[in-house]
Amino acid sequence: MTLHPLASPLTIEARPELTGGRRIGVLLSHGFTGQPASMKPWGEHLGSLGYGVSVPRLPGHGTTWQELNTMTWDDWYGELTRAFDALCLEHDAVVVGGLSMGGALVLRLAADHADRISGVVVVNPAVASKRLDVKLLPVLKHLVPSFPGLANDIKKPGMDEHGYSRTPLKAIHSLMRAWPPLVADLPKVTAPLLYLRSTEDHVVDEASQPLITSKVSSRDVTVVPLTESYHVATLDNDAPQIFDLSAAFIARTTSA
């Protein structure tokens, strides 16, 4: 399977001399039908500050939407868990962050490994939807393989997340089936939470934010509106704000 030129994972070694002598790791997850390209500028910024960074490529991404249609939530979560475990072995503290489906995946990590996560950063996370056609996915996925894609919801001209032009239905149904168990387990999330939300998002509707912010047990929750970005905010006009706010959040939540 041919890999997109920008889809290779990103790994940056920690430089503890820049982070108070401690090795701080950051795991960043891209979204559904996207690939590491949407997260690399964020990861590179954090790496320049001394943080050890891992941006894995989730299975079925950065190749073809047809391959993605053979993958499930368990495949994506399994890959992210492997990257998380590796970071934990090499760092004194780990913060996790994700965009869209990546946000849901890192919330799952935070629920399952509350004792090993110092902070959670989510950008336009998806754990629910108000779309009525979602209820038809169990039937539709057997009738048609894909719908038109969701990629490149970006306000800034000239930007490209290099996602798929089609949305594979079996794969997205697997994603949405994982949402209810995750929502039920959100009270297990205790780490500080930085929630970054675009005020205009054409991919993830308003159903997820109240569910997440009301159900997590985190006592330290900060919600920041992103007023100049659409869904892929990590590549949009508010990207510098995301980079700076997350860096300050990581520094604060991992201080010894």
Which residues are part of the catalytic machinery?
Answer: 100, 201, 231
Six token digits for residue 111? 């629920």
Six token digits for residue 184? 């039920």
d(CA 68, CA 66): 5
The number of beta carbons lying within 10 Å of the beta carbon of residue 35 is: 26
The DSSP secondary structure of 103-153, one letter per residue, reads HHHHHHHHHH-GGG-SEEEEES--S----GGGGGHHHHHHH-SEEE-----
d(CA 127, CA 208): 5
Environment class of 4 (CB within 10 Å of its CB; exposed 0-12, middle 13-18, buried 19+): middle
Residue count (the chain): 256
**The residue to which tokens 């004194």 are assigned:** 92
